[in-house]
């Protein structure tokens, strides 16, 4: 069985939800506190030298990291969780999946730990990253259908990302006011009954 090393509310929630949606069994190993010296960090470093979540240990003992790579692995088993091949929606799905991890994720790396990168200007870096992140979400808003999901009636793995990131900064109220499509998609995912135990465990609902 796959083991997901993660922390409630962190990016590992995306992998948990994707696996749950795909009906792929897994067990969760809580490494909360991994970003500070201690037992959890030591445990995670043995598996992933970058000490990041999610880190997955697969059935054969191998390690899988990076949420987009995990999404691709899941799609090998459940291709129905992306738009059909050969359609414009499929191409846009790939684009937005990689766009999120390449553009939005780094704003959290730098804004959450600015002192690691510019100790003398940490507050300035944090503020600029948050402002830039908001501009990215405004662009993403224009790419989405929200009827009720990102690509219409089909629930895809991209919707899982949108649901989780809505809980991160700048949080619910900002999304509701500035990006109503993102907010609506997140609400639609939260209403999927099979996902609700994981959503609750990660304080998303």
Helix/strand/coil for 73: helix
Phi then psi for 36, rounded to 5 degrees?
A: -130, 155
Q: What is the pLDDT of residue 64?
A: 98
Report pLDDT for 6: 98
- What b-and-e string marks burial along 120-158, b requiring 16 or more CB atoms within 10 Å of the CB? eebeebbeebeeebbeebeebbeebebeebbbeeebbbb
Instruction: Please say whether the beta carbons of 139 and 131 come within 8 A.
Output: no
φ, ψ for residue 104 (rounded to 5)? Answer: -75, -45
Q: DSSP secondary-structure letter at 27?
A: E
Cα distance between residue 36 and residue 152, in whole Å: 41
Specify the pLDDT at position 25. Answer: 98
pLDDT for 27: 98
Q: Using the structure block, give the residue that is written with the tokens 């030591």.
A: 42
pLDDT of residue 154: 97
CA distance 67 to 132: 22
Q: Report the run of H or E that residue 65 belongs to, with start and end.
A: strand 63-65
| pLDDT (mean) for 37-65 | 97
pLDDT (tens digit, 9 = 90+) per residue, 92-135? Answer: 999 999 999 999 999 999 999 999 999 999 999 999 999 999 99
Residue entry with tokens 């609700």: 196
Percentage of the chain with pLDDT > 70?
Answer: 100
At 104 the pLDDT is 97
d(CA 93, CA 45): 32
pLDDT in tens, 133-186: 999 999 999 999 999 999 999 999 999 999 999 999 999 999 999 999 999 999
Pairing relationship of beta strands 63-65 and 2-6 according to DSSP bridges: unpaired
pLDDT of residue 113: 92
Strand partners, 26: 2
């Amino acid at each position: 069985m796959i083991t997901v090393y993660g922390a409630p509310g962190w990016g590992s929630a995306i992998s948990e939800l994707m696996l749950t949606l795909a009906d792929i069994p897994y067990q969760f190993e809580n490494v909360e506190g991994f970003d500070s010296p201690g037992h959890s960090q030591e445990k995670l470093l043995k598996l992933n030298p970058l000490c990041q979540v999610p880190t997955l240990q697969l059935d054969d003992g191998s390690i899988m990291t990076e949420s987009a790579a995990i999404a691709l692995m899941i799609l090998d088993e459940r291709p129905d969780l992306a738009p059909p091949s050969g359609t414009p929606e499929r191409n846009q799905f790939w684009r937005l999946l990689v766009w999120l991890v390449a553009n939005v994720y780094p704003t959290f790396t730098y804004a959450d730990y600015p002192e690691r990168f510019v100790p003398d200007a940490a507050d300035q870096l944090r503020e600029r990253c948050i402002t830039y992140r908001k501009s990215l979400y405004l662009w993403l808003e224009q790419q989405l259908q929200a009827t009720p999901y990102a690509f219409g009636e089909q629930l895809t793995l991209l919707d899982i990302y949108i649901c989780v990131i809505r809980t991160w900064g700048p949080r619910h109220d900002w999304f509701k006011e500035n990006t109503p499509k993102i907010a609506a998609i997140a609400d639609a995912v939260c209403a999927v009954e099979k996902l609700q135990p994981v959503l609750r465990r990660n304080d998303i609902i």
